[in-house]
Amino acid sequence: MSAPILSLRGLTKRFRGLTAVSDVDIAVPEGSICSLIGPNGAGKSTIFNLVTGYVPPSSGTITYAGRRIDGLPTDAINRAGIARAFQISKPFPGLSVADNVRVGALFGAEGARDPDAVVREALALTGLEGHGDAQASSLTVGFLRRLELARAIATRPRLLLADEPCAGLNPAETAEIVDILRRVRDRGLSVLLVEHDMRAVMDVSDRIFVLEAGRKIAEGAPAAVISDPRVIAAYLGSDED
């Protein structure tokens, strides 16, 4: 595996009396697809919120591409090269698919770019090239997820945080999202995925990190993680439970 593009060290977040994330160490190798999994309430969304600047850490560090980013505002983090695709897509409903993606192309990473070319590439990567003129309000859930990914990709990130892109999708739609994530990785982006669909996670991940009650309990290749007794107990309960 290559050097990490994202490194979390001792990352902790407390909300008054609740410790949502506790002393978590994670390193996402550049050019990889890594998944962050765990039961509901394990701290996955909180980690995404910490990395993207929605909330500040209580302690610990977040390093992206060799630069400390903990404490930076969300727009600065996006300009640095991190984009987040949310589980619940909220496009501009009165705009076309292409214009929604163009909003991302006009912002995001600093530097010269051709917004029209960026839009075309993002639409092609997400399988939306034939839907650019459609109203965003007309899209099905599966295509809204593609649009959410396309808008994030249009900001020209080096690291994409994908928050449950397969939630509620049927197997065929899930397979299409997995293919999109692979294409994104093959274009040189790194991906950190939060997902409950374990088939998708096992299929697409180079490495998996497992959280339980805010702590990392396991990490490694998919086959090793899925057979780890601590992971099995976290998802299914122990014999004593």
φ, ψ for residue 72, nearest 5 deg: -75, 150
Q: Which of 229 and 51 is assigned the larger pLDDT?
A: 51
Task: Supply angle C-alpha 79, 84, 88, rounded to 5.
Answer: 140
Residue 56 pLDDT > 90: yes
Per-residue pLDDT reduced to its tens digit, 96-127: 999 999 999 998 887 778 999 999 999 999 99
Percentage of the chain modeled with pLDDT above 70: 97
Rama region for 95: left / alpha / beta (φ>0; ψ in -120 to 50; rest) = beta
Residue 238 pLDDT > 70: no
Q: How far apart are CA 82 and CA 15, in angstroms?
A: 25
What is the average pLDDT across 53-59? 96
Percentage of the chain modeled with pLDDT above 90: 86
What is the average pLDDT across 78-101? 95
Per the listing, tokens 């996402």 go with 28
What's the pTM value of the predicted model, to 2 decimals?
0.93
- What is the chain's mean pLDDT, rounded? 93
What is the average pLDDT across 32-52? 95
Q: Residue 241's pLDDT is what?
A: 44
Query: Could you tell me which of 90, 93, 96, 47 has the C-alpha nearest to residue 70?
Result: 47
Q: Residue 76's pLDDT is what?
A: 95
Output the furthest CA–CA distance in the chain (Å, rounded): 60
Q: How far apart are CA 97 and CA 95, in angstroms?
A: 7
Length of the chain: 241
When computed from its CA atoms, the radius of gyration of the chain, rounded to whole angstroms, is 18
Q: How far apart are CA 39 and CA 34, in angstroms?
A: 17
Q: Give the Å distances, CA to CA, from 54 to 4, 30, 57, 59, 141.
A: 22, 23, 10, 15, 25
Q: Give the Å distances, CA to CA, from 10 to 1, 121, 154.
A: 22, 37, 32
Find the distance separating the first CA and the last CA of the chain, reported in whole Å. 37
HSE toward the beta carbon, residue 195, CA cutoff 13 A: 28
- Tell me the DSSP string of 17-66: TEEEEEEEEEEEETT-EEEEE-STTSSHHHHHHHHTTSS--SEEEEEETT
What is the average pLDDT across 81-87? 95
Per-residue pLDDT reduced to its tens digit, 114-168: 999 999 999 999 999 999 999 999 999 999 999 999 999 999 999 999 999 999 9
